[in-house]
Structure 1
Amino acid sequence: MKLETVSAPLGSAAVPAPIGVPLVEQAPTSWRRWLAPALSTAILIAALAQLRTLDWRALIAMVPASPLFWIVFLVSYLIPPASEWVIFRALWALPGRGFLALLRKRLSNEILLGYSGEVYFYGWARRNAALVAAPFGAVKDVAILSAATGNIVTLVLVAASWPLLRDLNLGLSARLIGYSAAVVTAGSLLTMVFRKSLLSLPRRDLVMIAIVHLARIIATTVLTAILWALILPAAPLSWWLMLATLRMVVSRLPLLPNKDLVFAGLAAFLVGHRAQVTELVSLLAGLTLATHVLLGVGLGVSELAGVENRR
């Protein structure tokens, strides 16, 4: 087959592309050039604003001294961007520095606005990745399959945990859980019905993406259980694993009110120590936010400092 060549940045190899495949634009328009830096600025501002909301002394006082806790926490924090790096590495041969862009993508979603990270990563990919086609389709497909995979896992877990949720008398009516499950099911069904219109990647790539997302969900659930067990070792790890699974179910069902209270009730029923469990949840939420803030400041500054070098 006859090949064309995509113009690559100075010092990088040219990328062959089949005739008929849209090529990445050699000279991005002004808004594309400034899209990622603008979002990086927003991440930096949001991270600095969050600094005022954190009670650092109280947070540090609650943190366990065990090095194992920090190792597990950091691994669990890095798994989401690492899983996406694996996906885009397979799709685009994404370089190692793409991991930092995926970290910024997560921070944008967490401290700015949901799916703003996808906008940031799209802009970054247009400027930095030597691609044979526009990256929008791949970024879109990865986001859609992430939501769909999470929904499917949630439905399976709802079915498995329904007897426990029903018997705990936590204010969760069967009708409310049913409506929530219906919303989740509808989203997954729409993805399946309109997959040919919504998804643009080949079937083989879509299967790979779904498998990586599934592995991410399982890994983060298990690591969350291990973190809780390290903080409150009196309860068996199996109980915390059950709680981590149930927390995922409760957090993803869209119509349930007071989700933290529901989780506290589950924890009190299974392991007792309701006050300690509340502190545990607050600790991990605070540590995650603190990590967002510190990375947001560091990565925001580094991104903005390199803007001129990439123009």
Structure 2
Amino acid sequence: MSAHSDAATLSSSRSDTGASLLSDIAPAFAPPPLAGQDRAWAAWVGPVFSILILGAVVYQLRTVDYRALLALMPSTPLFWLAFAVYYFAGPFSEWVIFRRLWALPVRGVSALLRKLVSNELLLGYLGELYFYAWVRRNAEISASPFGAIKDVAVLSAATGNAFTLMLLVAAAPFFDLLGASVRTSALAASLIVVFGSSIAMLALRGRLFTLPPAELRFIALMHGARILAMALLAACMWHMILPTVALGWWLLLGTVRQLLSRLPFVPNKDVVFAGVAALLAGQDREIVAAMALMASLIVAAHVVVGALLGAAELARQGDRA
């Protein structure tokens, strides 16, 4: 009996020791919490980005040609409805995605709008940095949001690449409209870049993604719906501005716009696109004017949204102080 008792005591002691060791080691491998000091580092990111956005807004105000903008301004209510849906399609689709992943509150839409403006007026992917800091400071989630934000960004790029390839195939019969403006070698290089990056993403998908397959499929579906909707809305707005221009031109310009959207670190892609469209359209001044109008309207929207959100963020920080 004594031997059995000693063995039981020794087993119990080892069990308690093992449990103690596990309890000491487990916190090191647990997902990082989003409270206390872990949120403190993110507190300054909002004001800094707001100041940067307001600075970019002031700079952009110097470049807007208000007279030309007013002269070309469409008066059709349907155009402005299409423009509003076009502008907010990106942030809204991302809110739907993160709502599913984290039950993101409605106020997260303002953070996603600020993410959009940061990417467009400052530098590509700075918006993701801001949104990451905002989520750590505001969202009620138990682990780091980095993996989900990264998966959403990578899937956005992959879906955009796939849509670009489909547009290139669809627009191929109309390349003759461009004449000597575009060389075959340039188109081939674009295909190689887009197709090569897509292949790389597929090859590394096991290491790239952290979310479950069902969530990844939902995210890809939302990105696809958003890209298709924005492409159709852009074509509709161009047609409303210039209803006599052939559909082939809009398909070609939509393809070029989609190709430019794949450049990750280029801000103000719509302004860049307007310049490229002017080169492609050549002497067709109406098309050049239409593209310049769309670029100006989108930049103006970024300016207005950025100014409102930046001022609101700084006001909130002032009230807290």
Shorter chain as normaliser: what TM range?
0.7 to 0.9
- Residue 265 of structure 1 and its aligned partner are, at CA, apart by 7.2
Distance 1:310 1:96, change over 3 A: farther
In the aligned structure 2, how far is the partner of 1:308 from the partner of 1:261?
41
User: Where in structure 2 are the equivalents of 1:31-110 lying within 5 Å?
Assistant: 31-110=41-120
Tell me the CA shift for residue 295 of structure 1.
1.1
CA distance in 1, matches of 2:308, 2:277: 33
- Higher normalized helix content (fraction of residues): 2
- 2:122 corresponding residue in structure 1: 112
RMSD: 2.5
Question: CA separation in 2, counterparts of 1:263 and 1:50?
Answer: 21
Return 5+ residue gaps in structure 2 as ranges: 1-28, 264-271
Whether 1:295 and 2:300 are equivalent positions in the alignment is no
Q: Please tell me the residue identity of whatever aligns with 1:229.
A: H
Distance 2:178 2:57 in 1: 39
Residue in structure 2 matched with residue 248 of structure 1 by the alignment: 257
Q: Which residue of 1 aligns with 2:15?
A: none
The corresponding residue for 1:207 is: 217
Residues 55-64 or 282-291, more deviating: 55-64
Structure (1 or 2) with the larger CA radius of gyration: 2
Matched residues, percent identical?
44
Give the match for residue 189 of structure 1: 199
Q: Cα distance 1:249–1:52, how it changes in 2: closer, same or farther (>3 A)?
A: closer
Task: Identify the match of residue 227 of structure 1 among 237, 240, 253.
Answer: 237
Partners of 2:212 and 2:84 lie apart in 1 by 33
**Per the alignment, in what secondary structure is the counterpart of residue 88 of structure 2?**
helix
Offset from partner CA, 1:207-256 (integer Å, 9 cap, x none) = 111111111111001111111121122346x55653454333553576xx
Q: TM-score, normalised by structure 1?
A: 0.83
Which residue matches 2:12? none
Decide whether aligned partners of structure 1 residues 60 and 261 sit closer, same or farther in structure 2, where only a CA change above 3 A counts: closer
Shift of 1:51: 1.2
| Residues 1:286 and 2:299 are matched in the alignment | no
1:139 aligns with 2:149: yes
Is residue 181–residue 253 contact of structure 1 (8 Å, CA) maintained in 2?
no
SS at match of 1:52: helix
**Which is bigger in relative contact order (C-alpha 8 A, separation at least 6)?**
2
Distance 1:285 1:75 in 2: 16
Contiguous gaps of at least 5 residues in structure 1 = 1-18
**Alpha-carbon distance in structure 2 between the residues aligned to 1:234 and 1:169:** 20
Whether contact under 8 Å (1:146, 1:213) holds in the other structure is yes
- SS in structure 2 of the partner of residue 131 of structure 1: coil
2: distance between equivalents of 1:310 and 1:129? 18
CA drift of 1:161 comes to 2.4
Deviates more, 1:200-209 or 1:162-171: 162-171
Once residues 24 and 196 of structure 1 are traced to their aligned partners in structure 2, the CA distance between those partners, rounded to angstroms, is 27
Cα distance in 2 for residues equivalent to 1:167 and 1:227: 21
Change (3 A) 1:187 1:307: same
Distance 2:235 2:183 in 1: 27
Determine if contact 1:166/1:172 at 8 Å carries over to the other structure. no
- TM-score where L is the length of structure 2: 0.81
- One-letter code aligned to 1:185: F
Alpha-carbon contact 2:53-2:121 (below 8 Å) kept: yes
Q: Which amino acid aligns with 2:186?
A: L
1:164-175 alignment, distance < 5 Å: 164-165=174-175, 168-175=178-185
Provide the C-alpha distance between the structure 1 equivalents of 2:58 and 2:173, rounded to a whole number of angstroms: 45
* 8 A Cα contact 1:225 1:243, kept in partner: no
